[in-house]
Amino acid sequence: MRLTIQSDPLSVRSALQTIMGQFGSDELQPNDAATLEIVLAEVMNNIVEHAYRKRPDGKIRFCANKTETSIWCSFIDNGLPMPDNSTPAGLLRQLDGPTDELPEGGFGWFLIRDLAQNLTYSRIRNRNFLRLRLALDCPEGAQ
Confidence (pLDDT) at 27: 79
Q: Confirm whether 36 is domain-assigned.
A: yes
Q: Confirm whether 141 is domain-assigned.
A: no
Mean pLDDT value of segment 41-62: 93
Q: Which residues contact 102 (CB under 8 A, 6 or more apart)?
A: 95
Residue 103 has pLDDT above 50, yes or no: no
Residue 40 has pLDDT above 50, yes or no: yes
CATH of the domain at 99: 3.30.565.10
Confidence (pLDDT) at 86: 81
Instruction: Give dist(CA 89, CA 112) in Å, integer.
Output: 10
Q: What is the pTM of this model?
A: 0.85
Instruction: Give dist(CA 143, CA 127) in Å, integer.
Output: 39
Q: Confirm whether 143 is domain-assigned.
A: no
Residue 65 has pLDDT above 50, yes or no: yes
Confidence (pLDDT) at 141: 44
Confidence (pLDDT) at 19: 95
Q: For the chain, how many structural domains are there in total?
A: 1
